[in-house]
Structure 1
Amino acid sequence: MSDNKEYITSLDGSGSINISEDVIAIIALESMSGVQGIGGISSAHGKDISELLSRKNATKGVKVKIEDSSITIDTHVMVKYGNAVNEVAKRIQKEVADAVESMTGLSVSAVNIHVTGVSFDKEK
């Protein structure tokens, strides 16, 4: 991981634990993959990046902001046609917050969902 990434640090009797914002973003992405109604992860510009996912650009659709041990996550998604946008967004918020908190032990103050488009089944 690059050195210009922000880390959240916690101290205990054994030393420090540093968690990169990229790690938090990857946890968020993985937790979203199973949410019913999600049509894909997109960039901030609305372009579907799910086909471009690789180690280098795996976190393009997720932005993590760390301030004073508080985490805010912004994610850009597309919703599958026929699903209630608000319900899908609420499920994403819950899944992301639960996953990040359980895997890192850190508190998530907000998960902001930006719905950038609607996806359609390609089999029609």
Structure 2
Amino acid sequence: MADNHRRGGLKFSTHVLETIAGIATLEVDGISAMSGGVVEGISERLGRKNLTKGVEVEAGEREVAVDLRVIVEYGRNVPRVYENVVQNVSDAIQQMTGLRVVEVVMYVEGVSFPEESRQTRQEAEQSEPRVR
């Protein structure tokens, strides 16, 4: 997959699209964290915050498909959380890039409990910029 994606003469790197999708996902109530696997977990322990953790995009000339790996809060209606994630990610990418999101696949890789969710969300809000 190429690292740059076009819209006319304007190009977006895969990293930019993944960052937009990751931030938009974390903004949704019911998502407590992104899940990125062992390598990304090691990076975070070394103090590097990765805004693309748990996000993979595939982009064409005008369209984007997004895969997300998430941890949801216990007790949440996951299909409803998924609908909100799809809407927020699609809106953010469309608004910022003009690209159309054709698919969002959300893999639920864990469940967090209320205390864990509050702490994780507070840490994310303190360290990550908001995209609107």
Identity %: 32
Structure 1 counterpart SS, 2:20 = helix
Q: Give the structure with the larger helix fraction.
A: 2
Match of 2:10 among 6, 12, 17: 17
Superposed, which structure 2 residues align to 1:1-124 within 5 Å? 6-11=3-8, 16-43=9-36, 45=37, 52=44, 54=48, 57-122=50-115
Q: Which runs of 5+ in 2 are unaligned?
A: 117-132
Cα distance between partner residues in 1 of 2:40 and 2:75: 18
Structure 1 counterpart SS, 2:52 = coil
Over the aligned positions, Cα root-mean-square deviation in angstroms equals 2.6
Give the paired residue count: 113
Aligned-pair distance for 1:69? 2.8
Q: Is the 8 A contact 1:46 1:117 kept in 2?
A: no
Q: Is the 8 A contact 2:22 2:53 kept in 1?
A: no
Structure 1 counterpart SS, 2:101 = strand
Normalising by structure 1, report the TM-score: 0.78
Aligned-pair distance for 1:33? 2.0
Q: Is the 8 A contact 1:46 1:76 kept in 2?
A: no
Aligned-pair distance for 1:103? 0.6
Aligned to 2:129: none
Normalising by structure 2, report the TM-score: 0.74
Q: Which ranges of 4 or more aligned residues in structure 1 deviate by more than 6 Å?
A: none
Structure 1 counterpart SS, 2:105 = strand
Q: Is the 8 A contact 1:31 1:95 kept in 2?
A: yes
Cα distance between partner residues in 2 of 1:46 and 1:122: 23
Q: Computing the radius of gyration over CA atoms, which structure comes out larger, 1 or 2? A: 1
Aligned-pair distance for 1:89? 1.1
Cα distance between partner residues in 1 of 2:22 and 2:12: 16
